[in-house]
Amino acid sequence: MSKLKRFLILPEERVGDRIVVSGSEFHHIVNVMRFSVGDLAILGVGDGVDLLARVHEILKDKVIFRIEEERPNPAEPRLQLSAYLALLKSDHLEFAVQKLSELGLRSVTPFVSEHTVAKGVRADRLVKIARESAKQCERSGILQIRETLSFDRVLRELPLHEAALFCCEFERATGIRQALNALPEGLTRLAVIIGPEGGFSEKEKEEAVRAGAVSVSLGPRILRAETAAVAACTCAMYRFGEMEGAAEVL
């Protein structure tokens, strides 16, 4: 099954055991990948389920699949990890979104903080990157790109998670390993908060800790914001067993 081609579809394209694919994915399936009637593929709507489906009919502008089996996608993690990422320059933000999708994150929420320099975000571009990344790493869940929030709004959302790590370059007392090891084994909802190129202010750190986040250091070296996001989320995924099999690969 892992060798079958994988495509992402829209939820409304599924009706019962039929999937009717049109638009750009139709073009990719029929004109690029040269699928024929009877060919098998893995289809997903972003809900963590793989649909094993066979081409039933190819029309002028759509391809019709019949679902033969539904399976939980093995690449989807149990840990619901969400990143709150301060606005970065577009190419840096795109890099972070791509890599966080590959790591299995549930969502990325851009936000504006005191030292934010970037002015906006191309949400449509980030959604496209998240979708393409999901296909590349064989996920059936698609990283959610949320609307841009204020820093205060981010802090008000922290109760939605069981724990939150505030990655701070001037934190000296607590390292990320110490903070992660202190979290309960059964934790399922975790947030990681990463600042902009200019870092966080002392005031923001104090506000985040008051809101319930744990301020953590990522080590003695100052990391670029996009590197910090990938590093922190990799540590979290490793801590909760979402990177099992890495030893066999290395």
Every domain of the chain and the residues it spans? 6-72, 80-247
pLDDT of residue 245: 61
Q: Which residue has the higher pLDDT, 2 or 174?
A: 174
User: Can you tell me the mean pLDDT for 134-159?
Assistant: 93
User: Can you tell me the mean pLDDT for 111-135?
Assistant: 91
pLDDT higher than 50, residue 28: yes
User: Can you tell me the mean pLDDT for 110-134?
Assistant: 92
Q: Which of 176, 47, 203, 206 is nearest to 114 (CA)?
A: 203
pLDDT of residue 2: 46
State the CATH class of domain 80-247: alpha beta
Cα distance between residue 168 and residue 209, in whole Å: 11
pLDDT higher than 90, residue 11: no
pLDDT bin (cut points 50, 70, 90) of residue 23 is: confident
**Low-confidence winner among 61-70, 132-141, 162-171 (lowest mean pLDDT):** 132-141
Name the pairing type of β-strands 14-15 and 18-21: antiparallel
pLDDT bin (cut points 50, 70, 90) of residue 230 is: very high
pLDDT higher than 80, residue 247: no
User: Can you tell me the mean pLDDT for 150-162?
Assistant: 98
pLDDT of residue 188: 96
User: Can you tell me the mean pLDDT for 146-170?
Assistant: 97
Cα distance between residue 104 and residue 96, in whole Å: 12
pLDDT higher than 60, residue 248: no
**Residues 81-92: tens digit of each pLDDT:** 999 999 998 899
Its pTM surpasses 0.75 = yes
- What CATH fold (topology level) applies to the domain 6-72? Ribosomal Protein L25; Chain P (2.40.240)
Angle between helix 90-103 and helix 123-136 axes, rounded to 10 deg: 30
52-56, long-range: CB < 8 A, 24+ apart: 52/1, 52/4, 53/19, 56/18
